[in-house]
Amino acid sequence: MIPKKRILLGVTGGIAAYKSPDLVRRLIERGADVQVVLTAAACRFVSPLAFQAVSGRPARHDLWDEAAEAAMGHIELARWAELVLIAPASADFLARLAGGRANDLLSTLCLATEAPICVAPAMNRVMWQHKATQANVAALIGRDVRLLGPGSGSQACGEVGPGRMWEPAKIAESLLDAPPNAGLLAGLNVLITAGPTRERIDPVRYLTNRSSGKMGFAVAAAAREAGAHVTLVTGPVNLPTPAGISRIDVESAREMLAAVHRHVAEADLFIAAAAVADFQPVEIARQKIKKQGVAVKLDLEPAPDIVMSVADMAKRPFVVGFAAETNDVEENARAKLKRKKLDMIAANRVGDGLAFDCEDNALTVIWPGGKAEIARAPKVEVARELVALIARRLPPPPGPARRAVRARRTPAAPLSRNRSRRSRR
């Protein structure tokens, strides 16, 4: 959440601009003061007068407005804004923003402002997926520009796919409404693993799995929403870093193990959502193994068990594991919970169109003496429910903070039987 009230709404050229007057209304309903700035292309889709009618302020659209610029109006706007929101953000504007261009009023004030910038992309699916657009988006995310969407669905051009601007209500809620779990993990340090690992066979080949990392990244975003300081250790994935999260990229299970143990001493909570390889080659060939028309024997050994290594620590955080199972999900998860001495485990069925390569998931969450089901839903929603369950099970920290932390959690939820052990750490 960004609890800002003075919002400068930038509207760029695209058919989704017809939604922007409704967005103004939604923001004002939540207490925001909205100033609209349009690009020349946006004026061809929606009249500046329409925005004046809903915002109560004349919409700005000309960098060369003599009356406004007599007092350096673009600098004044840049300083006035507590948040800059570009919705819709066209492919062209994303490119200009990434390139640091300042050739119209909106791009100029984006360069001149010190306020946070959010963009809600809207474009054809092919334009969104083009490498140039993705490179621009990656550059903007690297500069802490917050990405809102895009969504996926039918488009004005008649095609179907990613590139739809989020609906105005969703944008307004994302910016100005408190997230569902606000404060549940306030002040806690959370360490999370995500994605697959790659175990090298030779310089060009490796063993891996189908994990996209989306569930782990969703859990990281949900923990950040809940107020935690989040460090995310991720295997090779093609995902943007959620806002406000420290990210560490690794490749192999050994590298992930090392990264986890560099940071775990500071963690209050460890969530092992990564799909770490179970096996790794005993030896890595120095040169590419040539195809010779005969069978090749590959000797494998167990890869490091990262979650167990953390659970075995004398002074350990609260440990949550994941179990991806193709059969006997609950039975296998309970065995893993006990065998690895975890505080909680989140289990899900994979394969046959479930979990991998999907935008949604469902979990069976188990802890000593209890169980909860999280129904199939988008992964971000599943992650929020999981974080809420974890927060209820976490024992409150010792000392003066105990009463405040307990008050933030749901009173009816019993605390873990590991509470006494945790409080002695």
When computed from its CA atoms, the radius of gyration of the chain, rounded to whole angstroms, is 24
Q: How many CB atoms lie within 10 A of CB 349?
A: 18
Of 123, 265, 127, 286, give the one whose Cα is nearest residue 201: 286
Nearest to 171 by CA among 120, 224, 226, 123: 120
Q: 93-107: b or e for each residue (b if 16 or more CB lie within 10 Å)?
A: bbbbbbeeebebbbb
- Among all residues, which ones are annotated catalytic? 157
Asked if 285 and 204 count as a contact pair (C-beta separation under 8 A), the reply is: no
CA 183 from chain centre, in angstroms, equals 18
CB-based contact 296:283 (threshold 8 Å): no
Rounded-to-integer distance, Cα 384 and Cα 221, Å: 9
CB 258 within 8 A of CB 292: no
Q: What distance in Å separates the CA atoms of residue 20 and residue 357, rounded to the nearest whole number?
A: 32
Q: ∠ CA 270-274-277 to the nearest 5 degrees?
A: 125
Instruction: Centre a 10 Å sphere on the Cβ of residue 272 and count the other Cβ atoms it contains.
Output: 28
- Those residues whose C-beta lies under 8 Å from the C-beta of residue 320, and which sit 6 or more positions away, are 269, 270, 271, 272, 342, 343, 344, 345, 346, 390
Cis bond leading into 88, ω under 30°? yes
Query: Do 115 and 80 contact (CB within 8 A), yes or no?
Result: no
Closest by Cα among 121, 119, 93 to 108: 93
